[in-house]
Structure 1
Amino acid sequence: MEREIEKDLIQIESAIKSQTEKDNMFTVAVLQRCYRLVSELKEYKGLEEQGKLLKLPCAVGGCSIPGKYSNEGTGYQGV
């Protein structure tokens, strides 16, 4: 997983440079946001592997616990 995240970060950096050269600032802003989120994921994965972060019963984009914190009844189908 760590290697995949590193590879994703490198690819996002490359895309940011490419889109900056094309002066596509909207795409650059979106890619920068993606880069920050993937960087946070890398950090959380590191903490989880060290046992410093609890595993939550929720998946990204939804929660498996029915009720208040789930997508139940919202019509949300996930990504």
Structure 2
Amino acid sequence: MKRRSGSEPLAPRPLTQPHPSRLAPDHPQRAEILASHAAALEAGQAGYLDPGTGLFVLTAAFLADRGTCCGRGCRHCPYVNGP
């Protein structure tokens, strides 16, 4: 993954792991969502279709490549730190 120079630092977690406030550990579709995200990451795709809503969700890799957090509460935001 190529990140823009001068970009925000990433959160200290793998791109495969979303922040708990964005995808709760007890979310009923967590395993399916994480599998969809992992498949999109592996394929180099920008995102995947959420299994519950059908909405397009951006991957952490795509968001990291942008260089900064947009502040819109993305599920896989790689910049979100804290509880």
More helix by share: 1
Q: Looking at both structures, which has the greater relative contact order when contacts are Cα pairs under 8 Å and sequence separation is at least 6?
A: 2
TM-score of the aligned structures, taking structure 1 as reference length: 0.30
Q: Which has the larger radius of gyration?
A: 1
TM-score of the aligned structures, taking structure 2 as reference length: 0.29
